[in-house]
Structure 1
Amino acid sequence: MSSPLLYLASASPRRKELLTQLGYAFDVLRVDVAEVRQANENAEQYVQRLSQDKAKAGVAAAEDLRPVIGSDTIVVVDGAILEKPKSYQDSQRMLRMLSGRNHQVMTAVSIADGAHLLSTLVTTDVWFRDLSESDIESYWQSGEPQDKAGSYGIQGLGGKFVSRIEGSYFAVVGLPLYETDQLIKEFSALS
């Protein structure tokens, strides 16, 4: 692994795996950031603020001055933000909204230390095939959608619902590789 040594402010195993794939040495910090949309905050502003809040919370929790990466992913369809489902009924509602049409997956990545904060936002268009009620029910029973924005994971069983994407596959998973690598390099140049 190469420098710089970082922190990842995320409990997501997918983000941990993707950051490892980039070849950076890092430790994981668990941070607790309320994921509540503020009044008059559009989807882009919301996901960027959450990634920044997670990076800043990581800086506050860190034992040393290493930079902290925070990230957040949301699903947007017709301007509605779909986060993690609260119940089976909520998952049904989301998956019915996504069925047979396209939506956007927005992933924001931020990196911060005590002096600097940089962010990037990646939006990917995703198309779903038509889903039957049986598709939705059996997918919920798999347990996979229960902790995923938009109630699906493209890297798992939910991938069978996706007919095509335009943009970054890795951003849909939760951490865009190219953009994260560029952000880390830009941040390193600030030091």
Structure 2
Amino acid sequence: MIDFSILFEDGEALVIDKPAGLPLDRPRAGGPCLEDHLDDLRFGFQREPFPVHRLDRDTSGCLLLARNPKALKRFSAAFEARQVEKVYLGVVAGPVEGESGTVNLSLSKVSTEKDGWRMIPAKKGKPAVTHWRVVDRRDALTLVEFRPETGRTHQIRVHALAGLGHALVGDPVYGNGKGAKRTMLHAAALTVPREGKPPIEAQSPLPPDFHALGFDLG
């Protein structure tokens, strides 16, 4: 049983601090996943909560769950309409030129028998926009804040490599997989507007493995 930190809670929404290494869906090879814990996350409510958006297995931090179908529909629509403010922190495996900017590179999925599937920049791909700014620099590593406008699969990971010149530390698909036990990406904050109600606002503290690389937000 994982003792999830609850970052936000009310009658229709729950934001948990998802640990790195926990996939949302059951892996093909089997093993633990978020589905195993949804019953424990009911906290007395009739229904199990349902994830509104996706986080990669390695990505830690803010994950929004809806407590009923109507809330799920509204929250999903807010994501689709790009009304949700998402803030990620990632450790880039190299020096980043400049202090801030925007990566605007459309993405497309490709698959080969040798390497499996991945996302690549492609003119005919789906639009993908990520705003970024440097938060801190340590030796050859750079802590970067990413604010994605769109929510494409692996968007930040590909934009880090193609737009900033280096993959995220630990990324085995777009980088060399070295420097950390996981891809160093953290969903640090989430804001979801709601009509007639205060917005859902959640923040997740920087995980220990970021501190282990020398980064501290104070």
Do they fold alike, i.e. is TM over 0.5? Answer: no
Structure with higher helix content? 1
TM-score where L is the length of structure 1: 0.29
Structure with higher strand content? 2
